[in-house]
């Protein structure tokens, strides 16, 4: 068995433009997806738009942890916005546990992502 992260990349402008009714239908489709695959679903989430993102980068990357806890310190540069600006942005994810890539791709095809697509990434064994 392997774990895969299914990352949803969608056009934020399209999402912002949909009416309440259409948004409700998309969410309902996600609900049906989650209900149908509860046995392999290990997690998931829906992100606020990238306008709410804050990026931290600097000498310590996203915060060097070699000192006590989080210690990005004064060297880290904190900026408003996502790590990379793209038309289709990361907007949500599912974590699934399945036997192989084919099974993960079959699930990925079912994920509702009307304004973009999904990326499937295997997780390393830790």
Q: Which residues bind another protein (CB under 8 A)?
A: 2, 4, 99-102, 104-106, 120, 122, 124-125
How far lies 54's CA from each of 8, 48, 82, in Å? 19, 12, 6
Spatial strand order in the sheet of 116-122 = 41-46, 88-98, 2-11, 116-122
Rounded to a whole number of angstroms, the minimum distance from the CB of residue 94 to another protein is 16
Q: Which is nearer to another protein, 4 or 94 (CB)?
A: 4
Rounded to a whole number of angstroms, the minimum distance from the CB of residue 106 to another protein is 8
Q: Which is nearer to another protein, 64 or 103 (CB)?
A: 103
Rounded to a whole number of angstroms, the minimum distance from the CB of residue 123 to another protein is 10
How many other CB atoms sit within 10 Å of the CB of residue 124? 6
């Amino acid at each position: 068995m392997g774990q895969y992260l299914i990352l949803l990349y969608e056009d934020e402008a399209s999402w912002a433009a949909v009416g309440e009714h259409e948004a409700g239908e998309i969410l309902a489709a996600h609900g049906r997806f989650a209900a149908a695959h509860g046995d392999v679903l290990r997690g998931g989430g829906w992100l606020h738009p990238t306008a709410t993102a804050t990026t931290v980068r600097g000498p310590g990357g996203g915060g060097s942890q070699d000192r006590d806890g989080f210690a990005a310190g004064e060297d880290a540069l904190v900026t408003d916005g996502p790590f990379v600006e793209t038309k289709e942005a990361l907007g949500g994810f599912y974590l699934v546990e399945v036997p192989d890539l084919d099974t993960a791709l079959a699930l990925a095809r079912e994920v509702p992502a009307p304004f973009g697509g999904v990326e499937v990434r295997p997780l390393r064994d830790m």
